[in-house]
Structure 1
């Protein structure tokens, strides 16, 4: 019988984010939901966790629907949304990581003759997961515990109406992305624990395309995945949705077990110029 471990779900929007997380897993095997959603489940060495990895695609609506499916299907003890985001603060560098203390949905409001009236909605991060992140990343100056904003557009103009909207109404947000509010709202409705971890790949301005062309997306995804690993090394099973012992979903499997290697090349970001796995460090709360 294979070893049974408690499970966490790690969700990504993009393939490069998925690949960055998968590189840390061993014994990876495929699973398929009856409605076609795919997951790969593997072990994370040095931790008690089995990690169920799912690539969802972009957008908050898709993220909310698939997060709910993952919760009922895999019954994880916690959900992590990991990937890249645009930075909104000058003191947070490309390649740094923002762990969201809360997630704003930034497009709610009412248009009136007097102007647009904001109707803010926000979800605070799980205290249990945030506490683990603080311990894991306390001494790292490139890790930041800050709020993030989630919308339904790509922000690539620092002088746009959306950029001004964020500065005026969500001034403490350190990053912007497109799926976080969908993930955390679904987990909140289910009474679960969620944490969003984002590597900064651009500055959400007119130089976004240049930053993407310079390879900052995979670098930022690697930093986010490394931060996730440090948090999971700190986090202990707590008997969440999957019960004290945790369990893995009983569903179809595809193919033999295999490690997280591609053509014999293991994706290891240690020692790279774009800061490999975080080693636990300073976290500010804004």
Structure 2
């Protein structure tokens, strides 16, 4: 093969590689907003201008605007598989520039209480891994696209994280309702921390201690890391926002019923403010 043919062959390969790269994810000017429960999603949908329903493979999405920003909103359903499925459909059909998640969680940081917010600087699967005879767990998922291991912790988009930290300082968030009918005078605490995900509702102080020790977890829930992994693998910026409904201890079910509405409103309020500030 002479030099001209080699050069021509190289150029063809280069163009093919560039075409392949160009066929990768192409974002559109729209922001994806997800939540696990209908009530969480409804809080966001209530703010939409000119809402329109779009059903994709049985999953309902609602498009509209928050301020000047185009958004698409969907309920993922509970658990990692539902969250990953809805996220994949969202990315494939709507091609959002970014994905934000609003929802509740169980608190694993002893300094936090129901109503407080954790901006997930990073998320991890706490129930994923393999145990060997030497008892050395492998916690890393594998990227289906690159075939390489993913990081244990999926980092949030730094720009979205900083924006959340900025806008929350000017928000009025709801305090914790008391048994007397009043509201706690303790200000709502907001922190950037670690959120861990597993297909289990944690209601055990022993498990809370384990998650805190093994992952440095500030909150635990059932969808965040699945959404983060899908976004990470397709290189779509994401941010998970969680407001605490309980402490993930033996009283979690009781606290959940009591504090869920407050937690859901606080999380949704922050996500909406982020979109407005984009």
TM-score (norm 1): 0.73
1:233 aligns with 2:266: no
Query: Contact (CA 8 Å) 1:21, 1:222: kept in 2 or not?
Result: no
Corresponding position of 1:100: 120
Q: Based on CA coordinates, which of the two structures has the bigger radius of gyration?
A: 2
Query: After the TM superposition, which residues 74-113 of structure 1 pair with which residues of structure 2 at under 5 Å, given as runs?
Result: 74-113=94-133
1:39 aligns with 2:61: yes
- Aligned equivalents of 1:26 and 1:90: distance in 2? 40
* 1:14 corresponds to which of 31, 37, 62: 37
How far has the Cα of 1:118 moved from its partner?
5.3
- Aligned equivalents of 1:154 and 1:116: distance in 2? 25
- Aligned equivalents of 1:6 and 1:109: distance in 2? 37
| Larger relative strand fraction | 1
Report which structure shows greater RCO (CA 8 Å, sep ≥6): 1
* 1:176 corresponds to which of 202, 217, 220: 220
Query: Contact (CA 8 Å) 1:97, 1:227: kept in 2 or not?
Result: no
**SS at 1:20's partner residue?**
helix
How far has the Cα of 1:199 moved from its partner?
1.0
Query: After the TM superposition, which residues 53-132 of structure 1 pair with which residues of structure 2 at under 5 Å, given as runs?
Result: 53-115=73-135, 117=137, 119=139, 121-132=152-163
Query: Contact (CA 8 Å) 2:212, 2:218: kept in 1 or not?
Result: no
- State which drifts further: 48-57 or 105-114: 105-114
Query: Contact (CA 8 Å) 2:40, 2:265: kept in 1 or not?
Result: yes
Query: Contact (CA 8 Å) 2:101, 2:239: kept in 1 or not?
Result: yes
Corresponding position of 2:4: none
How far has the Cα of 1:113 moved from its partner?
4.6
| Larger relative helix fraction | 2
Query: Contact (CA 8 Å) 2:130, 2:138: kept in 1 or not?
Result: yes
Structure 1 residues 208, 76: CA separation in 2 closer, same or farther (over 3 Å shift)?
same
Query: After the TM superposition, which residues 20-35 of structure 1 pair with which residues of structure 2 at under 5 Å, given as runs?
Result: 20-33=43-56, 35=57
How far has the Cα of 1:73 moved from its partner?
0.5
1:142 aligns with 2:193: no
* 1:186 corresponds to which of 210, 219, 230: 230
Consecutive unaligned residues of structure 1, counting only runs of 5 or more, are 236-286
Query: Contact (CA 8 Å) 2:197, 2:224: kept in 1 or not?
Result: yes
- Aligned equivalents of 2:260 and 2:102: distance in 1? 12
How far has the Cα of 1:112 moved from its partner?
3.9
- Aligned equivalents of 1:30 and 1:82: distance in 2? 20
Corresponding position of 1:219: 262
TM-score (norm 2): 0.75
RMSD: 1.9
Consecutive unaligned residues of structure 2, counting only runs of 5 or more, are 1-27, 141-151, 172-187
Corresponding position of 1:153: 200
- Give aligned pairs, total: 224
How far has the Cα of 1:135 moved from its partner?
1.9
